[in-house]
Structure 1
Amino acid sequence: MNWMEDELEAMDRASILRSMRASSPVPERPGYTIRGNRPLLNLSSNDYLGLSQHPAIIAVMQEALLTEGCGSGASRLVTGNRAVYERLEEALSEWQNSEAALVFANGYMANTGVISAIAGRGDVVFSDQLNHASIVDGIQMSRAEHARYRHNDMAHLRKLLSKFRDRRRKLIVTDAVFSMDGDLAPLQELVLLKEEYGAILMVDEAHSGGIYGEKGKGLCHALGLQDEVDIHVGTFSKAFGLYGAYVCGNRTLIRWLTNKARPLIYSTALPPSLVAGISKALDMLQSENWRREQLHEANKLFRASLHAAGFAVGGSSSPIVPIIVGENDKAVRFSAALEEKGIAAVAIRPPTVLEGTARIRFSLTAAHTKKELIDAAVCIRNVGIRLGDLRQ
């Protein structure tokens, strides 16, 4: 296996070698994490609504541990389908105004499972160039033809749909909010194109579910397009603050996935205590609108502060705020310098993003205070100048 060492050394020289570092929450200081015994302002978490440490959710999970045990013991189609699963899926379908819902172990398995169950040889999947890796892998698993359109370029998508209009089955897949850039998909145009060309539309609301729309129903609902989207995917690992994923749609879709989605069929069910915690988070997510309001206010403040400091951060409404620095080594040094100043902000490099677009990806939570964000923007400005003025 010497070739592995050679490849790893090459990755290190290119500043794309990764390693894991232990982090711990700070229960008494929401929005912080501990690394190396130091509390850091956590600007790299997807815990958008600050629910991951909520005592009410923890209490529900503790109670379920005592009554349901540690694990589910089998896949859902064997004996792992506890009653808490069915109650959660009923609540999810009601929340999303859909006929039915299905819970998966995580977002990666949901996307790969849905795509490979819907499309196959002879079909075409149309996918945004910046879609999440789980979508790309799902297309590869499906053995369908992959027609990748330029990011949010509806003219390019129309051209590809026209080229493949006679294929047996056409599936359009997009993120609602793109995880590394924070911008939004043009969902209205995607709906029009899917109707014009007779395609199926699948939207992944991983970074928008819980954040947009009434009761956090997501971007599709916020735009009034929920009935036009055929397959609605979301995750519990971000705004919900837990782990897992869901798919909502009509009853036929859910019955099909139950029988055809291999990641669901061949995986042990999530622990019942976790499912109970998700149900509690769903209740809180719908009833505590102040969390969304606080998150959106934090996003506006942080973007304005960085813009005033000379950084180009775009005009998105999402809590994902990237600063693109280009070179991998520069992004690594920027991240390390921020950590020295008390900020956890991870460098994102290829292959997660395109070559030449390495960045610091900031992500906000409702737990961040105005002072913390304003002070962080000043620190980011000073570090950027010290490293050779990374402002744009």
Structure 2
Amino acid sequence: MDVFKKCFDYEFVKFLKANNRYPYFEPIQERHGTEATVRSKDVMMLGSNDYLGLSTDSRVVEAALAATVKYGTSVSGSRLLNGTLSLHEELEERLARFLKREKAIVFSTGYQTNLGTISALLGRNDVAIIDRNAHASIVDGTRLGFGKLKRFKHNDTEDLEKILQSFPENIGKLIIVDGVYSMEGNLAKLKEIVQLKKKYKARLLVDDAHGIGILGENGRGTCEHFGIENEIDIITGTFSKSFGSLGGFAAGDKDVIDYIKHNGRSMIFSASMTPASTAAVLMSLEVMETEPGRRRLLQANAERFSNHLTDLGFNIGHSETPIIPIYIDDTMRTFQFWQELMNKGVYTNPIIAPAVPEGNELLRTSVMATHTEQQLNHVLNILEDVTRENGFLAGKVQV
């Protein structure tokens, strides 16, 4: 048996390319905030996670440039040995204060954050109970650890309780959920989950990659939004969304973060965040704290866009955030819809199984604080035209 046989037999991508439906690895030639150039054509960006528009903010760009001049392009080593800069420690202190935690630690990517944090915490007598729609980094973090893995139905706290009931008290239990689910745009039922955490003496980790900077009066995310920050044991997140940079973080009690710092394999065996990325996050954090109007603009754009999509007859599920899915519920029709929109200058993300359950295929759209009303109206007109011309109908979401 040839180990490469699976590669030679992999027909799905070949089929998509042959039928001009391949939607992945599109090279973006230029990007200017809400607009980009793809295939030498200008497109409206409705597929970015740069929710606050900070990746192209002049202050953030200038901070990244200055850090590169001062420290170089890379520290060329892991945090454990030669890769820690004073800039990293400054960011960790600022994040801890912002999130009202004893301590924070930064990783090179958001994926590595969950990989290192979760695997370090899960010993042989522990179990992770995760939402079935949890991000891939959460799933892989549990696989890298020595503990067991159990999944509960998406946002189903009754199913979560049944699983918690099945374990004896002497088993270490770590509940892990996303604050905001990155494909559906809906929120975890954190208030109910906190009650179960207390009842069954578990710990709770919330990956708030898509909530930090967006939700809550001060932008501290989903936990602040629900008023339960003090009930969450660990918060993880990424800098590639609202912070407009690259990297990730975990924040919690000092002893817990110190343990992760010395046992998280993705921390110990990876080069640290680049100076440019770190400085960009520091400046973005300052903007978040001093310019709450960006969050209000983002919320207004998301509400307006969602309402118009619903008026047009699209099924957007239960989104409560700037992540707004358009359910198509069929793989090839999803790719076709994506292609028609791209042809007319609208960049979206086609999402199929296993990223979403089979039958819930969708176009993932996301609005930014920097989108103008005119830009969003233009996109809505194109969506209406493409739907009318191709007979697309919104699918039915299963929850």
Q: Which residue of 2 aligns with 1:84?
A: 87
In structure 2, what residue type is equivalent to 1:3? K
Equivalent position to 1:22, from 18, 27, 50: 27
Q: How does 1:269-308 map to 2 (within 5 A)?
A: 269-308=272-311
Task: State whether structure 2 residue 319 is matched by structure 1 residue 329.
Answer: no
Q: Is the Cα contact below 8 Å between 2:52 and 2:294 reproduced in 1?
A: yes
> How many angstroms apart in 1 are the aligned matches of 2:52 and 2:12?
39
Q: Which residue of 1 aligns with 2:63?
A: 60
Please list every run of 5 or more consecutive structure 2 residues that lacks an aligned counterpart in the other structure: none
Q: The residue matched to 2:377 in structure 1 has which SS?
A: helix
The share of aligned pairs that are identical, in percent, is 34
The CA deviation at 1:121 is 2.1
Q: How does 1:177-216 map to 2 (within 5 A)?
A: 177-216=180-219
Equivalent position to 1:365, from 356, 364, 368: 368
Task: State whether structure 2 residue 128 is matched by structure 1 residue 125.
Answer: yes
Q: How does 1:4-15 map to 2 (within 5 A)?
A: 4-13=6-15
1:271-301 alpha-carbon deviations (Å, 9 max, x no partner): 1222111111110111111111110000011
In structure 2, what residue type is equivalent to 1:98? R
Q: Which residue of 2 aligns with 1:268?
A: 271
Q: Is the Cα contact below 8 Å between 1:14 and 1:329 reproduced in 2?
A: no
Q: Is the Cα contact below 8 Å between 1:206 and 1:235 reproduced in 2?
A: yes
Q: The residue matched to 1:366 in structure 2 has which SS?
A: coil
The CA deviation at 1:172 is 0.0
Q: Is the Cα contact below 8 Å between 1:26 and 1:39 reproduced in 2?
A: no
Q: Which residue of 2 aligns with 1:32?
A: 35
- State the number of aligned residues: 390
The CA deviation at 1:316 is 2.9
Task: State whether structure 2 residue 394 is matched by structure 1 residue 388.
Answer: no
In structure 1, what residue type is equivalent to 2:338? S
Using the TM superposition, name which of 344-353 and 238-247 deviates more: 344-353
> How many angstroms apart in 2 are the aligned matches of 1:375 and 1:114?
43
The CA deviation at 1:228 is 0.5
Q: Which residue of 1 aligns with 2:256?
A: 253
The CA deviation at 1:18 is 6.1
The CA deviation at 1:167 is 4.5
Q: Is the Cα contact below 8 Å between 2:323 and 2:366 reproduced in 1?
A: yes
Please list every run of 5 or more consecutive structure 1 residues that lacks an aligned counterpart in the other structure: none
Q: 1:35 to 1:194 in 2, by over 3 A?
A: same
1:202-231 alpha-carbon deviations (Å, 9 max, x no partner): 000000000011331111012221111000
> How many angstroms apart in 1 are the aligned matches of 2:242 and 2:366?
12
Q: The residue matched to 1:275 in structure 2 has which SS?
A: helix
The CA deviation at 1:315 is 4.5
Q: Which residue of 2 aligns with 1:161?
A: 164
Q: The residue matched to 2:80 in structure 1 has which SS?
A: helix
> How many angstroms apart in 1 are the aligned matches of 2:377 and 2:85?
46
Q: Which residue of 1 aligns with 2:73?
A: 70
Q: Is the Cα contact below 8 Å between 1:123 and 1:167 reproduced in 2?
A: no
In structure 2, what residue type is equivalent to 1:44? G
In structure 1, what residue type is equivalent to 2:46? L
Task: State whether structure 2 residue 5 is matched by structure 1 residue 3.
Answer: yes
Q: The residue matched to 1:80 in structure 2 has which SS?
A: coil
In structure 2, what residue type is equivalent to 1:20? F
TM-score, scaled relative to structure 2: 0.94
Q: 1:294 to 1:54 in 2, by over 3 A?
A: same
In structure 1, what residue type is equivalent to 2:61? I
